[in-house]
Amino acid sequence: MTRQEAEQRIAALSAEIHRHEYAYYVLDNPTISDYEFDQLMGELKRLEAEFPDLRRPDSPTQRVGGRVSSDFAKVPHNPPMLSLDNAFGADDLRDFDRRARSLVDDEPVEYVCELKIDGLSISLRYEDGIFVQGATRGDGETGEDVTENLRTIGSLPLRLEPADGRLPARMIVRGEIYMEKKVLEDLNRELEAQGKPLLQNPRNAAAGGLRQKDPRKTRERRLDSFIYNLVEAEGFPVAKHTESLDLMQRFRFKVNEHRFLARSIDEVIAWTEEWREKRYDLPYEIDGLVIKVNDLAQRARMGFTAKFPRWAVAYKFPAEEKETVVEGITLEVGRTGAVTPAAELRPVRIAGTTVKRATLHNEDNIRTKDVRIGDTVIVRKAGEIIPEVVRVVPEKRPADAVPWEYPRVCPVCGEELVREEGEAAIRCVNPLCPAQQYRAILHFASRDAMNIEGLGEALVQLFLEEELITDAADLYTLRERRGALVEIDRMGEKSVDNLLAAIDATRQNLIHRLVYALGIRHVGERAAKLLADHFGSVEALETAKPDEIQAIAGIGPKIAESVVEYFASPRSHDLLRKLRAAGVNMVGEKKAAPTEGPLTGKTVVVTGTLTRWGRKEIEELIERLGGKSSGSVSKKTSFVLAGEAAGSKLDKARDLGVPVLSEDDFANQFGPF
């Protein structure tokens, strides 16, 4: 094939593949089979390999993922990507309407109602119809360049389709990157099978996927997009927001079909009521609705506050509450022995899922709310995630319903339950309780503890049932029982060898992981690190006195008492003896706490997603520099370190006048590290 023929064929293949991608990713109406699509893509790759100088920047092959990034460059937003003020009901919407109309001398105002997609905001720039740059929202003023990762998202056009036979010389649009609920379920099934931590929700999964250093990892997340705002399109003037949405569709952006033009605020309110239930039928999550003034000239007259546009508002749905019946109350034993009650419910649909069980928290909560078996109760999802009983409907209580009495013995092992003075939790104090062992082993193997990849709930349960292990230390003896493991259903030689290798790899973990993995009450990851750094070995920690432990900055009397109590237990002695015999590392480097540093006396709150450090890394760095890391913003906060998608903590800091630093600000002021 001549160079000229190759150039013509590459152009034709690119155009054809772009059409098929639009049909598949945007219209959800594929026009050819996957096999035929792969054939076209394969031919294009071969031609580009043979004639590399003919590969175009908008080639469909560039979706596979370009360079692996070691960092994300900063991209300024002009105009800024502001957040929206919130409305929580009809009264708030009417107030918004009154304010909006007053700013345009009570002219009639139309509103465009759209879904508020629960994802990650992005800004895209095109030049002569070619995608050249994409950035996250960041702090609204400056975002991160994630161009290569965005190229992997099939619904984002790499090359625009001409409108009226023309393309803008420059175009900027904004939208949302999201993950469908079914994609999250599929990915979590794959992760669970591999024994890896699950993705928590679609929004976090999308945000994490878009900020991967390797674009190939982003592609694995199967992300999608909706574009909702036209910032600039040279040569294509529009007067109304509805016109801009139509124009973006003509350029082949994926624009959400669920939008409504309201002629009055009454029509807006009716639309919000309509979506209160319909939202659960969507294949993706929304965290509200967005109401925008349609006329762009009116928007210009309305202007902005310091934080929000005056011409738009985000409507938040009220927490959904449903009535159902308590059919029973059951108990679950946790790894520290805490016995938590739950209400077994007559199935009821709340926030898009069927709820059969709701937490009752503890004995005091049951007594305060007077929850009884047979009661009709109001149930909601706390944060739209965890079902909880809100209150009882006393007028519907059956005549024979009696107060529920908390059992005095463990439902699993039958040992006496204990409630310590000053605590709400009731505990099983039997260290041999099977329920505690199961959860203790899961905790030991978890990512932030010893991090044994491939060891999930099902395998731990199976190993306990088969009597292959009785505690976490026995995991290190499984190699001696490889033959028995291979015989277990669904394991297989490769899976067994991978698991054994993963277990072996943890023998040389740093000791703060082991201290956390032991599951000592009140000792979280941060406390485990402080203890490991101070004492330098598990042996020194074992023999430490309460006042020695409490002398460590950041360790209080409750933790000190709990540590001493743990190491006084014969069961703990036995576990540690077995771990030592298995060759698990018990010694680290004793580190003196920093007495002085650039952050000495400062309290820092970290919010949002950072690019240079993980959350644990930045908290450890703050402590090394002499500062204290806090989880809440107050007037005593020295400054807030804000990353991508910083939320309410950032808003509170601004309201209180607390200084806000970007990652660059932090590095420039307190580095080098």
Which residue numbers are catalytic? 116
Residue with token string 């939790």: 425
Beta-carbon contacts of 217 under 8 Å, excluding residues fewer than 6 positions away, are 209
Query: What is residue 471's three-state secondary structure?
Result: coil
Structure tokens at 384: 């739209």
Q: From the DSSP assignment, how many helices (H) and strands (E) are in the chain?
A: 24, 22
Helical (H) or strand (E) element with 147: helix 147-150
What DSSP line would sit under 640-657, residue for residue?
A: EEE-BT--HHHHHHHHHT
Beta-carbon contacts of 627 under 8 Å, excluding residues fewer than 6 positions away, are 597, 599, 600, 601, 602, 603, 604, 638
Structure tokens at 458: 């099902």
Q: How far apart are CA 146 and CA 456, in angstroms?
A: 33
Helical (H) or strand (E) element with 299: helix 296-302
Please, are residues 124 and 172 in contact by the beta-carbon 8 Å criterion?
yes
The neighbour count for residue 670, using CB atoms within 10 Å, is 20
From the number of C-beta atoms within 10 Å of its C-beta (0-12, 13-18, 19+), residue 235 rates as exposed
Residue with token string 């297989």: 492
From the number of C-beta atoms within 10 Å of its C-beta (0-12, 13-18, 19+), residue 468 rates as middle
The neighbour count for residue 95, using CB atoms within 10 Å, is 13
What Å distances lie between residue 220 and 116, 122, 214, 475, CA to CA? 25, 19, 10, 32
Helical (H) or strand (E) element with 242: helix 241-250
What Å distances lie between residue 479 and 15, 450, 482, CA to CA? 56, 17, 5
Please, are residues 352 and 334 in contact by the beta-carbon 8 Å criterion?
no
Residue with token string 């059409």: 19
